[in-house]
Structure 1
Amino acid sequence: MPRPDQQGIIPVLAEVAGEVERAVQRPPIRPSTRTKFQVVALLVREERARTMADATLGPSRRGEQLKRLDGVATMLARIAARDTSLLHLLDDEARVSDAARAYKAQLMRAGGLEVPDEPEPTPPPAQAPTVEKRVIPQSVLSHQLSNPFLAPDYSGAAQRIAVKPRRLAGWELLEPLFRSFEEASAGAPACMPLPEPRFVPLPPGRQLMPHQAGVVAAAAGGHRTFLLADEPGLGKTAQALVAAQVTNSYPLLVVVPNVVKTNWAHEVGMWTPLRRATVVHGDGDTVDAFADVVIVNYEILDRHVGWMGDFGFRGMIIDEAHFIKNKGSQRSQNVLAVSQRIRERIARPLLMALTGTPLINDIED
C-alpha cells in the first residue's frame, strides 16, 4: 500500500515534471514535452488553489501540501530557466491545445481527481463608453500633409483577438521562476551575459561605461526589447538614447514623468546632438512633429493616444516604468495602447522600459 505522500495528484505532477526536466537536457524539445510542461503548470496552480480553499485540512496538513507543491514549482522554474522558449506557455493568453486538455484529464484521473466538464469561455463584460479628450496638434497635421503619399489604410488588418480570461493570473510559480533566473541549479548565475561592447561614435567628451556599452551592443546586434533596471545614477537615459541612435529608431517616442521632461530633452542634446527633441505640453500646440524625439508625460498621454499610435514611431522608451505596474490603470492602458499600435505598424520596433525600482512592494510588481 503506498504511503500517504505517494497518493494524490502531487506525486503524479512531480513524476511528470521530472520527465520534462530530463527531456530539456537533451534538446531539441518535442511538442509532447512542451504539452507536459504546460499541463503540469496549470495543475499545480489549480491544486494550490484547491488546497488553500479546503476547509477540511488542518494547518499542518495544508502547510505540508503547499510545501510539496512548491517542490514541483521549483522544478518547473528550473526547466523554464534552462529553456526559455517554454516561457510563452506560461503567458496569460497561451493557448491550451486539445492534446493538452486530454493530457490534463489523464493526469487528473491518475491523481484521483474528478475531471470537470470544460467550461465555455465567458465573453468579456461590455465596458461603458467613456468620453475622452483627444487632440491632434496642428504640427502633426502639417507632418501628415507633408507626406506625398496617401495615409496607409489598415481597415483590412486582421480583427483584434478578444480578451480572454487570464488563465495564469496571480500564478504562484512566479517567485521560484524569477529565483531560477538569478541562480542556476548548480548555483551559477543563470542570466545571459551581454555582448562585448562595440565602438559607437559619441559626441566629444562623452563615453559609455561597460554596462551601458553592453546594452547598446545588444541593440546593435538585433535585440529590440529591454527592461533596464540599473540602480539610479547608472545612466539608463544615455543607454536608451544611444541604443535608439545605433538602431535608427526614429521618430522616437519617450514617455516620462512630468518633472523630467525638460531633462530628457537636454539629454537628447548631450548624447545625440544631431537629433532634434520636442516636448509635448498640454494639447500639444507647440509640439514640433518634424523632430526626431517626441517627449510626453504620463499625465497628458491620454489626449494624444490617437495620433501617437498612428504617427509612425519606430521606437518607444518608457521612463520610470514602475508607474505602469498596474496594468488595469488608465495610465498603463494608454501606454500599452500606443505601444501596441507601434508594434502593429512597425516591424521590430525598439521598446525599452527604464526603472531603478522594478519591485516596489513584492514580486507581483
Structure 2
Amino acid sequence: MADKPPVQAIKGRGAAGNGEGRFAVTRVQAEDDGWFRDGEPPPNPATTVTEERARSLLRRNDSPDLPFDRSVNAYRGCEHGCFYCFARPSHSYLELSPGLDFETKLFAKSNAVEVLRAELAKPSYRCAPVAMGTNTDPYQPIERRWRITRGIIGLLGECRHPFTILTKNALVERDIDLLAPLAREGLVSVALSVTTLDNRLSARMEPRASAPHARLRAIRRLAEAGIPTGVVFAPVLPAINDHEMEAVLAAAREAGAIRAGYVLLRLPHELKDLVREWLQAHYPERAAHVLSLVRQAREGKDYDARFGLRQRGSGAWAELLASRFRLATHKLGYREWRALRLDATKFRPPAEASPQGRLF
C-alpha cells in the first residue's frame, strides 16, 4: 500500500482537509488528475454565502457548566477558519464537511431579526440573558456586509433585553454606538477570545480572525466606552499555546478586561481528526506529544463530554493549568466570571412586526 501523502496547509484556511462528516450520504474520493506538480500547494477554496430563512432563532440548553440557558446564532459556519472550533461538527448535519466546508460554505440567516422579534413577543416568553457567539462568531468577516448581528443587537436594545457577546473579531468596535448605552443600563457584556500574542501562531490557528493586537485594542476601546469586557483564553492547546496563559491574561487586563476564563481544547466527533491533520501540517515533530497531553487531561481519551469536565479536563496536567489560571487572575485582580449580573427586569416585549404599523 502506498504511503499516505503528507498533509499540506492551505494558506488563509484553518482546516487542512475536507473529510466527510459523520452523517455523510455521498462519499467523495480525491483523485490526482495530473494538473498539479509535486510540492505545489493545494488550491484555496473560495467562500460562498447562502441566504437561509430561519424558522427559529433562540436555542435552549440545560448545561450546568454554561452561564446561560439560551443563545442565538446569526450564521452557520464561520469564515475565521479556527482549526480547533468545537462547532465544526455541526456542519455535518447539513451533509457538509466539518473541514474546509465549515469555513467556506456559509449560511446567513437573513430573517433573523424578524424571527427573533416574534419569539420574544410571545406571551409565554420569560426574559434571561441571551448569549451571542456560542457556536459561530457573530462578527465573522461576512458580518460587514450582512449586518445581521447589528440588527439583532438593535432589536435586543429596543426591548431592553440583556445579552452577552463572545467574539474574536475587532469588528465588534463598529457597534460600540449601540452597546455603550445598553451597558449603562446593565444590559450587555462582551468578551474577546485571545488565544495567543504571537501573530504567526494566530495566523496558523485562526487565519481569518483579527490579529492579537487588534483584539486587545478592541478590549481597550470597549472598556473605555464603559462596556464590561472580558477575555477568554480558549482553547488551551498543550505544548502549543498553554505557556502564554499568564501573558495573555496580563495583556488583556492592562487593556481593560475585568473578567477572564479559559477552555481546554475539546475534540468532539470529527474534530479529533481535523486537529491531527492540522498538527501534522504545522507541527509534525510535536503532534504526538500534544495529543498525548490532551489524552492525559481526558482520562486517556481524545475527549470527555461529561459536564464539569469537558471545559477544564481532569488529571495532573489539567489541575496544574487550573492552578496557574487561579493564581494569575487573583494576582491581576480579575473578577469572578459569574459575578457580573445583567438586568432582566427592564425587558419589555417587542411589538410584533405588522405591515400596517401601529396606531398607539
Q: TM-score, normalised by structure 1?
A: 0.24
Q: Which has the larger radius of gyration?
A: 1
Normalising by structure 2, report the TM-score.
0.25
Pick the structure with more helix per residue.
1
Report which of the two has the higher share of strand: 2
